[in-house]
């Protein structure tokens, strides 16, 4: 399991294990928190084409799907 803390996610870099549409490397470009400081929105941007995807930030903890950093 990838160790991820929501407050350190902004501008972090990620590599997707299963490449789709040549999109492999991503950066977290937007995080939105509620009043209790829980993440309510996490947006990843693909480096190759700047496509944006809203995901559940907890999905980044799954090493079978994501690796920390650009590899």
Per-residue pLDDT of the chain (71 residues; tens, 9 = 90+): 889 999 999 999 999 999 999 999 999 999 999 999 999 999 999 999 999 999 999 999 999 999 999 99
CB 57 within 8 A of CB 39: yes
What is the phi/psi pair of residue 50, to 5°? 65, 20
Two tokens at 34?
Answer: 């509620």
pLDDT in tens, 37-53: 999 999 999 999 999 99
pTM of the model: 0.92
């Amino acid at each position: 399991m990838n160790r991820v803390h929501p407050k350190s996610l902004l501008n972090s870099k990620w590599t997707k294990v299963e490449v789709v549409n040549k999109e492999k490397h991503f950066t977290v470009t937007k995080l939105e928190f509620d009043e209790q400081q829980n993440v309510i929105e996490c947006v990843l941007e693909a480096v190759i084409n700047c496509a944006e995807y809203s995901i559940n930030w907890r999905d980044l903890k799954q090493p079978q799907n994501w690796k920390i950093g650009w590899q």
